[in-house]
Each structure stands twice: as C-alpha cells, then as structure tokens.
Structure 1
C-alpha cells in the first residue's frame, strides 16, 4: 500500500466549499473520477461581448480528463479536461476571439460541472429531504488543440471513456474531413472541488421522538443509478452478435451503479 499523500487541488476563494464543508473533496482522484464517469458535462463561459449578449452561456458537452505525452517528450502534461464539438460552433471559435487575446489570457475562462444523483432522500419533514449525489466544479482556461497527435489522443480517449474499447472496434482512423470538421478543446485546470453526499436520511431529534408522526410518514431512501438497457441493432448492422466488450461493459456499469447507490444508505 502506498504511503504517498493524494494529490489535491489548492483551495481558493473560488473553489472552497462553504456549505456542508465535511462533504467537500479536493483530491484529484475524486474530482477526475466524477468528471470521467459523467455522461454529460456542463460547460459555461461568458459571451465575447456584454454589449453583444449580456447572458452567460452553458453547453452540455461530452468530455473527460486526460494527460497527454507528446512524441519524444520526457514528461506527461498535467491532467486537463478534453471536450469536442463541431469546428464551426461558437465555443470552438472562442479561443481565437479578440476578447481572449486583448486581455492576454492563456485561454477562455470556463467552468465545467458534473453531477451524479445517487438517491432520493425522504426524511420526516420536507425540509430535511435531500439527494445523495457526487458533484464536481472545475475552473480553467480553454484552448483549441492544434497538435495532431494530441488531438487524435483526445478523440480516442473521449470515445473509449464512453464505451471502453470502442475506438479500436469502429472504423478508424478518422478521415481527413472528419478531423477538419471536429474541434478539440483542452481545459487546463486552475481550481477544482467536489461535493458528495452519501448517507441515509437525517431527521431532527424532535421529529424522531414523535412516534405518531413516524407511524404516519414513511422515511427512507430511493437508490438511484443509471441503468444501461439491452443493445438495439441499427438497421445497417450486419454483425450477428453484440460484442462482449459492449455487453460486459453494460453489466459491469449497471452492477457498479446499483451496488454503490444501495451501499451508501445501508
């Protein structure tokens, strides 16, 4: 067993959790794990000009964390968040916008958020109802990935993060047109924190002492997790059976989600 201290993100005024501080986590493993296991990441950023649009923007995107090692490099880059989208989208154009360069920023300031709901908590009073959850909030600077090696690394990483082994079991490598039309953003992390609730209901002592109310009101938890269904073949599909890498992944993910959501309230 390693005695090394876990790597943590430094607490800042921006990232420090103030409400329910014991639920806060700042270690890399927890934060990266929440990001990588979330089906959707929400990415928020400011418009290029307040005069043009006063409202902030938030986009649902696919992405995950990764650390790229360039060919011939001795060191691996710090862990960043990779996102992808069509090269013509506004978000993909932002890193080259005048507002970024005029302020001499290292990239577009963004916030990336991810959340898992692991259960619905039903206490005696509605004011003590809650959810079990895992959430992470990351702030960082977004830049467009220009290096072909890093771009290919990120695309494979994001594909396999959704379904492991999928990249090598699909039509690859991508065509030149596919690579030109797809942009990859790297978010270099500046600050990050996670917040987790993993517990059964917590009711006030006065409510717990009220036998009549307890007889009338059911309390407990409803475990919640993502359940992947039976694969449905596409009309174009001619492969006879669903590959093991897909069925095994479905089985493992469904089991893992159910076990965790029940264990934390038992």
Structure 2
C-alpha cells in the first residue's frame, strides 16, 4: 500500500489508487517525468519544473542530467516533486463545467540522494536507458569516465507517492442530460511510427528487433 501523508491525500478520493503496483504501472508506462525543484540562486529562490527521463529499480526512481544543470543541482539539495502523467482521453460533456480528461498520474515527494557509488550510478543510467528502449543498453557503448563526470544521477525513494486516475464518461448533472449536445470521450493514445535511420550511420544495419517490436 502507498503511504498516506498530508501531501499525498487526494481531494477526490474516488480517483485515488492506493496499491504500490498501481504506482509501478503508471511509472513503467511512461518515459518522461516533470521534476519540480526550488532553485535558490544567491538567496533568490524560485521554482523550476523541467522535463527529464527517468528509470525505476524497485522502490527507487533514478533521474539524470548534466552536472551543469541547475535543476539537477537544486534537486540534490532539498525536497523535490516528480510527476508522471498519461493522457488517455478528452471528456466532452454537455456543460462546459463538466468537461474533463481521462488520465493516469503519479506524484512522488521526497529528498533525493545524490548517487556517488559508480556501480549504482551505472545501474541508474542503465535503468534510464532501458525505460526509453528496452534492450538498448546491451547494444550501445557504455558511458566513459569523462561522460560519467559530466553526469549527475539522483535517486528518489518512492516511499511518499500518490496515484490518481480518471476513467469513464462525462459526469454531467442529470438535468443536462436532455440537452441536444453530443457528449462522450475522445480517446487518446501514444504510438510509435516507423524508425528513422540516422543519416550519419556508416554501416548498412537493419533496425534492431528490440526497436521494431515497439511499432
């Protein structure tokens, strides 16, 4: 079960899922998250929300970026919030008030840990790569010492997290059901198109199976 804290308590409890497997499902289905931090530049604090890739190993979320990125440096210095959202449908109601979205979302709070152990740093980067393209890590050159020095890896516990999901048709008031207005759901899904080969590729290579199977 997910922990219940003041920050993870949902306003609409009927949309909250409390199973840890529900959290894993939302995270594992995504490839990009939004990282929210408070950046304090010489005492002038301001919020930042940046999109970034991520990977999960068990109950730990790994984030990475350039060692020069102020969002990652700020993330390693205090509390952060990470969100992942999937849009599943546009909910079109009879009334403007009841228009909505069908979605799955996860929100994680916590103080991340700057990963300094080289083996764990490599495992975190492997998780990030595999989350984007399963099977890719085993086919590519691994990061060298210079690239590792230029990279920050953060580890965020999934201990404090919430999951929220909306599904189904509009929730119009019963009095509006008689209105001559079409209502329903416009489903949304994400698909992969055919891979586009890098024009700088020097070898006549087919697209790997672990890429084509996702189409």
The TM-score with structure 2 as length reference comes to: 0.92
Give 1:70's aligned residue. none
Provide the rounded CA distance (Å) in 2 between the counterparts of 1:95 and 1:231.
34
The TM-score with structure 1 as length reference comes to: 0.75
Structure 1 residues 94 and 129, CA gap change in structure 2 (3 angstroms): closer
Q: Encode CA deviations 1:185-233: one digit per residue, 9 max, x unaligned.
A: 111234110110011222221121x2xx33xx22111110112111111
List gaps (5 residues or longer) in structure 2: none
Give 2:140's aligned residue. 170
> Which of 2, 9, 14 matches 1:22?
14
Q: Encode CA deviations 1:231-265: one digit per residue, 9 max, x unaligned.
A: 11111223332121111122xxxxxxxxxxxxxxx
> Which of 38, 44, 47 matches 2:39?
47
Provide the rounded CA distance (Å) in 2 between the counterparts of 1:92 and 1:120.
33
Larger % of strand: which? 2
Provide the rounded CA distance (Å) in 2 between the counterparts of 1:28 and 1:137.
12
- Write the mapping of 1:228-247 to structure 2, written as runs, cut at 5 A: 228-237=192-201, 238-247=203-212
Give 2:28's aligned residue. 36
Provide the rounded CA distance (Å) in 2 between the counterparts of 1:204 and 1:92.
45
Provide the rounded CA distance (Å) in 2 between the counterparts of 1:83 and 1:224.
27
List gaps (5 residues or longer) in structure 1: 1-7, 68-78, 101-107, 251-266
Give 1:256's aligned residue. none
Partner SS for 2:206:
coil
RMSD: 1.8
Provide the rounded CA distance (Å) in 2 between the counterparts of 1:82 and 1:240.
32
Larger % of helix: which? 1
Give 1:226's aligned residue. 190
Give 1:81's aligned residue. 61
Provide the rounded CA distance (Å) in 1 between the counterparts of 2:182 and 2:162.
34
Give 2:56's aligned residue. 65
Provide the rounded CA distance (Å) in 2 between the counterparts of 1:226 and 1:95.
29
CA contact (8 A) 1:123 1:202 kept: yes
Partner SS for 1:55:
strand
Partner SS for 1:199:
coil
- Write the mapping of 1:109-128 to structure 2, written as runs, cut at 5 A: 109-128=79-98
Provide the rounded CA distance (Å) in 2 between the counterparts of 1:93 and 1:192.
22
Q: Which has the higher contact order (CA 8 A, sep 6+)?
A: 2
CA contact (8 A) 1:81 1:186 kept: yes
**May I ask how many residue pairs the two structures share in their alignment?**
214
